[in-house]
Structure formats: structure tokens, C-alpha cells
Structure 1
């Protein structure tokens, strides 16, 4: 529990990585490793369903089978839920905007564009990436073109 008391948004590694005691020290991973660590953590939190974590019952994204309303409303609501989940459970991201990106070529896959401000070594940096939810209800992040 003491490790959690010293947590700050400037930390380079996620809680999962600190628990697993990765070999690299948090300050030595560099920007590329820092962004990879955020991507890894986002994959964990976005592919978790609320109620599956005893210590954080709100961790994750609701099952889309529980969503009601029109397609546009659902798309906007999912974007808002993703945004709140990221802000609540990825502390290295200090601000985030999630926009739905409708794609007529793949109507069964939901696409989103995410812009986030991260705190790295006492500086803030803008990163952006695409996020999509496939037919298996799994979120995938594309951070190859991080700005």
C-alpha cells in the first residue's frame, strides 16, 4: 500500500508493471517505453468489464449488449465512457478527448480517435491514436503514429 501513496502522474510505469516488478527502473525507459507502457495499461483497462475487479469495481467498459438507444447515441455514449475510464484508471494521462469515427466500410467495428495529454518527466506531451472495438468486443489501440 505504501507504493500507492508515492504514486504521481509523472511516474513512467503503470501499477501493473510496478506490481510485476519489471527490471527497468521507471526513469530509464524513455519516451518510447513510456508510451508503450501507457498502451499496455490501456489495453488492460479498456478490455476489462466493470465488476470483474474486486478492488476497483468501476474499472473497465460496459458490455455493449447492455447499451440502449440509437446508434449515434450509443457511439457518443461509448466515447464518453472510454474517456472517463482512461481518465480514472490511467493516471499518466492528464487530459483526453475521444471522438467516434464512423466507418461505412466496416459497420460492425466501432472506431474512435483519441487525443491525450500525458505527463512525462515533468513535461506534458500530446499523443494521439486510433482505437477500435471489433466483433469480439475487444478494444485495440493503434499507437504506431503517435504524435
Structure 2
């Protein structure tokens, strides 16, 4: 599943997520709880960041550049990735505002890339600060916790 446009979501959960076979039925009167919205945001962030820039014909700026092609030092690469993540989230995750992305050090694996995303969830009646952890795994896929 790819990027979900805000107009295709209701109560903070996308239309396609609501159509999934194992999806919990939604009560039209009652909005989903915070954990359901956060899971939807995590899925969307994962889809956004695991898309390579240029792969989407309808939105060529969607996704991240291939950092294997980068010829920067490790510290510069970390900053470049942080800025690219923030830019993608600012554009393609409208439920999050005031987004900050920080590099997180892993004491057990010096070669893994981890980031913390701090933001404000600003969706309808829910306004809350959230922290999401992001890791680039061995398969070069971003996982959001």
C-alpha cells in the first residue's frame, strides 16, 4: 500500500486501511482511539519513507533519494537523511505538525541508522505530542515503532 492522501481518510484512518480484510469495523458515531490513529500514521510513514523518489508518476517528489548514491561523509549523510525525512513528513503526513527528526545512537550496533521523530498530532479533536522511533533495517527498509 502506498501513500494515502488526507482526503481519502476518515477519523484519521485511511479508506484502504478500513477495507482490509482483518480491519476492525468502525463506528461512524465514535472516532477511533489514539492507538488506531498512531498505527495508521506509522503505516503511512513507513510507506512514504520506503518509496524511492521518482517511483511515483503522479507525485515524483514522494519518497527519499537513494542514499547509496550519496558521496557524503557519514555525519553529513545522517544530516541529509534527517532533513529528507522531515521534508517528506511535512508534505505527505498532514496529521503531524511541528515535526523534528533527531539521530538516535545505537550502543549495540554502530552501523544501524536510527531516528526519533517528535511531532504534534493535530487531527480533529486529538491534539497530542507524539514520539516515533524509526530504524533503517538490514534490508534497507524503514521501520516505524
- TM-score norm. by structure 2 comes to 0.80
**Where does residue 22 of structure 2 map in the other structure?**
none
1:111 to 114, 121, 126: 114
Q: Is 1:48–2:51 an aligned residue pair?
A: yes
> For residues 16-61 of structure 1, what are the alpha-carbon distances to aligned partners after superposition, in whole Å with 9 as ceiling and x for unaligned?
x325653536752121111111111111111110111111111111
What is the CA RMSD across the aligned residues, in angstroms?
2.5
Quick one: structure 1 residues 21 and 101, their matched pair in 2 at CA, closer, same or farther if it must change by over 3 Å?
closer
**Retained in 1: the 8 A contact 2:11–2:31?**
no
**Distance change (3 Å), C-alpha of 1:138 and 1:24:** same
In the superposition, the TM-score normalised over structure 1's length comes to 0.79
Out of 88, 91, 115, the residue aligned to residue 88 of structure 1 is 91
- Gaps in structure 2 of 5+ consecutive residues: 20-24
Cα distance in 2, alignment partners of residues 34 and 106 from structure 1: 31
In structure 2, the partner of 1:24 is: 26
Question: Which stretches in structure 1 are left out of the alignment for 5+ residues?
Answer: 143-147
Partner deviation per Cα, 1:85-119 (whole Å, 9 max, x = no partner): 11111111122100112335313210111101111
Equivalent pair of 1:114/1:131 in contact (CA under 8 Å): yes
Mapped contact 2:12–2:37 kept (Cα < 8 A) = yes
Instruction: Report the Cα distance in structure 2 between the residues aligned to 1:92 and 1:10, rounded to whole angstroms.
Output: 12
